[in-house]
Structure 1
Amino acid sequence: MKRILMVIVGVLVVAGLTLGGVYMMRDKISVMLGLSVPLVELSKTPLFKPLDKFVISLDSEDTTYYLVMESVLVTHRPDQLEQLDEYEPLMRNALVQYFSNRSNEAVRKELQDVGALQKALLAKLVTTLQGYGYDPVLDELLITKVVVQ
């Protein structure tokens, strides 16, 4: 009789621990199963994630020029800030891909409409991250400093 009681208590303890773990992980499990998306409270003010300075060479017929750019990502989702740190190598690679086949003249022309360039770079970053299975929620990419020399 004691053995049966001990087995029943053991099963109940394991079941309780399992249910407790499932309850605590319910948001992650539901997303993994595609059941629902947990609600994330949006920030009332924009949140900024500065990217490291970006430098790339630009070819020209006469000489090689360098593009130096500093940019900031904007989101209203606090949970995105930590994830963006993990994504930084992918985002830097996306910037290299974007500028790698552009000449000095083409980049100077693009810089005449900074708003359009910011939108193009944001689209490139989002597409790249989605290609790796991430679903970034980015509102804007701001170019805070740019030099071509």
Structure 2
Amino acid sequence: MNKMVVLLGVLLVGALGTAGFYWFQAEQAKTEVQQISVKPLFFPMEKFVMSVNSDPNSRYLVLELTLVTHKPDTVAALKEATPLLRNAMVEHFAKSSHLEVKLAMQQIEEVQKLLLNRFNQTLADNKFEDQLDNVLITNIFIQ
């Protein structure tokens, strides 16, 4: 009888230890920090073409952007969020005239910062946890 109690105690301790180990592993997986790449990761967007206000002729803005992050998971999220980001660009440039766009593009860094803030706000508003580190204007054409 005494041996049976000891055996049950050992089995109970073993079972509790095993359960504790698996619980600890599950908690570690939940709180695991997202991997961050030392090198920047690039997500080139499709060419963006939009008409801008100009009298009497039609004028166009052509932008090519590359989004920058250091988190591999963000790249996957950007594929899903691309329509939202393109819409944010349309909303931003829709009210701009040809002259305003031309003048703004003389300050590329400011436009990049503005788009970065706009894109990160769009991602946050649509429940994407990922944020961008930078927006690069890789090509621009204003006709």
Q: Does structure 1 residue 78 correspond to structure 2 residue 52?
A: no
Does the 8 Å CA contact 2:123/2:131 hold for their aligned counterparts? no
Cα shift at 1:136: 2.3
Cα shift at 1:62: 2.0
Q: Distance in 1 between matches of 2:32 and 2:116?
A: 25
Aligned length: 122
Picking from 57, 77, 100, the partner of 1:63 is: 57
Note the alpha carbon deviations across 1:108-146, whole angstroms, 9 max, x for none.
Answer: 010000000000011111111111111222110000000
Aligned residue identity for 1:71: L
Gaps of 5+ in 1: 1-15, 28-36
- Which ranges of 4 or more aligned residues in structure 1 deviate by more than 4 Å? none
Corresponding position of 2:87:
93
Q: Does structure 1 residue 44 correspond to structure 2 residue 38?
A: yes
Measured on the aligned residues, the alpha-carbon RMSD in Å equals 2.0
In the superposition, the TM-score normalised over structure 2's length comes to 0.78
Corresponding position of 2:118:
124
Corresponding position of 1:31:
none
Note the alpha carbon deviations across 1:18-59, whole angstroms, 9 max, x for none.
Answer: x88x939x52xxxxxxxxx54012101000000111000001
Which structure is larger by alpha-carbon Rg, 1 or 2? 2
In the superposition, the TM-score normalised over structure 1's length comes to 0.75
